[in-house]
Amino acid sequence: MNLHHIQTSAYTDNALSLCLRYYGVDDAILLAGDAINCLLDVNWQTQLQGKTLYLLESDMLSRGLKTKLENSLNSSHITVIDYAGFVSLSLQFSKVITW
Amino acid sequence: MKKISILFRHSPYGNAASREGLDLALLSASFEQEVSVIFIGEGLLNLLPNQQPQLSGVKDYIATFKAMPLYDIESVLVCEQSLAQLGIGINELSLDCESASAALISHHLTLSDEVLVF
Amino acid sequence: MVNSFEFEGKQIHTDHQGYLLNVEDWAAPMADIIAATENIELSANHWEVINFVRSFYLEYKTSPAIRVLVKAIGQSLGPDKGNSKYLYTLFPVGPAKQATKIAGLPKPAKCI
């Protein structure tokens, strides 16, 4: 049960695609910083389907992405969290892997 | 004793990530932790033979990977998919390592106490 | 800060702690001079360790941590020499620190 913490853009770094390769069934992915941008992209939305995703709220709001991501956010596998939520997640998962 | 997995995902040139990962691996092993090293993506280029880092103005830490067995780091995994992607055979690498499927690496990460990515 | 000393008519540069800046500058006769600054008189037993750390460095481009030094010396020179007590008898301040210095190598990054 790992929480994969991704902070870099999927367009400049392969952290997200590598992490997906080793994603275990009980794992989840926390998208923070520029890693959030990929949710705008249909290809990435498809690749992330079925994965448990968390989004760091302040990074999404600062980038003006809230309305753009509304449709994705309605899907049940994505949860928006704040820093307190991040802390409780890191306790809930057996470890955090920062890519 | 903790099971620590250290992932190398960056090319040896262009940044110090792999060198830092190797430092941590040797240091953790000196403190008698159970260290595994896993090479994925461009990270496996660290294990190509015949490198001449000095030509790129980089300190030759590549040779230091070969000291890992002396530090009792016996578990060296290389991502099978990355090998295929980069057209590199497991026997071409400068270290004895095990070619591992994505599922095996995933399982290994689950069993580790700590996973650090460089 | 860079220091230097003269050896056979040539200036040898060291860091402020006396470690050589260039591994290639070293020659065996220099070991006695460096050892003297550490108050060590070199015996054959010292030389076994010095030669070992030097060849370790030339092969792996790093100085061995003390644990590895102990283990590897034990493997090549036998268990009565492969222990930290023996190595500290030869190099009282620290085998990794002093043997690498006398062998003309950079100071080990993490001296443990």
Report CB contact under 8 Å: B41, A14.
Answer: yes
Mean pLDDT of B8-34: 93
Residue A73 has what pLDDT?
Answer: 82
Chains that touch A (3 or more CB pairs under 8 A): B
CATH number at residue C26: 1.10.10.370
| C-alpha–C-alpha distance, residues B25 and B110, integer Å | 19
Report CB contact under 8 Å: B67, C60.
Answer: yes
**Closest chain B CA to residue A93:** B110
Check whether B103 has a pLDDT greater than 80.
Answer: yes
Report CB contact under 8 Å: A24, B105.
Answer: no
Report CB contact under 8 Å: A24, B106.
Answer: yes
Residue C109 has what pLDDT?
Answer: 66
Shortest distance between the Cα of A1 and any Cα of chain B, in A, equals 7
B66 touches C: beta carbon within 8 Å: yes
Its CATH architecture, for the domain B3-117, is: 3-Layer(aba) Sandwich (3.40)
Check whether B2 has a pLDDT greater than 60.
Answer: yes
SS3 per residue for chain C: CEEEEEECCEEEEEECCCCECCHHHCCHHHHHHHHHHCCCCCCHHHHHHHHHHHHHHHHHCCCCCHHHHHHHHHHHHCCCCCCHHHHHHHCCCCHHHHHHHHCCCCCCCCCC
Closest partner CB to B110 (pick from A15, A24, A99): A24
- For residue C99, what are the CA distances in angstroms to B93, C2, C31, C59, C64? 32, 21, 10, 16, 10
Does some domain include residue C51?
yes
With CA atoms as reference, report the closest residue to C27 among C8, C42, C45, C43: C8
Report CB contact under 8 Å: B106, A97.
Answer: no
C61 touches B: beta carbon within 8 Å: yes
Q: What domain range is A86 assigned to?
A: 2-98
| C-alpha–C-alpha distance, residues A2 and A99, integer Å | 12
Mutate to test the interface with B, among A3, A16, A20, A22 (most CBs of B within 10 A): A22
Tokens at B1, concatenated: 């004793």
Residues forming a β-bridge with C3? C14
Sign (positive/negative) of CA torsion C69, C71, C75, C78?
positive
Does some domain include residue C112?
no
- Look at chain A and count its residues: 99
Is there a contact between C28 and C50 (Cβ–Cβ < 8 Å)? no
Q: What Rg value do the Cα atoms of chain A yield, rounded?
A: 12
pLDDT tens digits, A43-86: 999 999 999 999 999 999 999 999 999 888 887 789 999 999 99
| C-alpha–C-alpha distance, residues A81 and A89, integer Å | 9
B20 touches C: beta carbon within 8 Å: no
**Closest chain C CA to residue B53:** C61
Is there a contact between A63 and A36 (Cβ–Cβ < 8 Å)? yes
End-to-end CA distance of chain B, in Å?
Answer: 22
* Residue keyed to tokens 């290389």: B78
Query: DSSP states of A21-67 as a string?
Result: HT--TT-EEEE-GGGGGGGGSHHHHHHTTTS-EEEEHHHHHHTT-TT
Which residues, including other chains, have CB under 8 Å from residue C108's CB and lie 6 or more apart?
C62, C63, C64, C65, C96, C97, C100
E strand or H helix that includes residue B4? strand B3-8
Q: How many domains does chain C have?
A: 1
pLDDT block averages, 10 residues each, chain C of length 112: 82 90 92 93 94 92 85 86 91 91 84 44
Scan residues 93-112 of C and list those with Cβ closer than 8 Å to B. Answer: 109-110, 112
Residue A75 has what pLDDT?
Answer: 75
Q: What domain range is C16 assigned to?
A: 2-102
CATH number at residue A74: 3.40.1260.10
Mean pLDDT of B13-36: 93
Does some domain include residue C92?
yes
**Closest chain C CA to residue B30:** C67
User: pTM for the full model?
Assistant: 0.88
Does some domain include residue C109?
no
| C-alpha–C-alpha distance, residues A77 and A53, integer Å | 6
Does some domain include residue C58?
yes
**Closest chain A CA to residue B100:** A22
Residue C64 has what pLDDT?
Answer: 84
| C-alpha–C-alpha distance, residues B95 and B65, integer Å | 8
Q: Which residues of B touch A29 (CB under 8 A)?
A: none
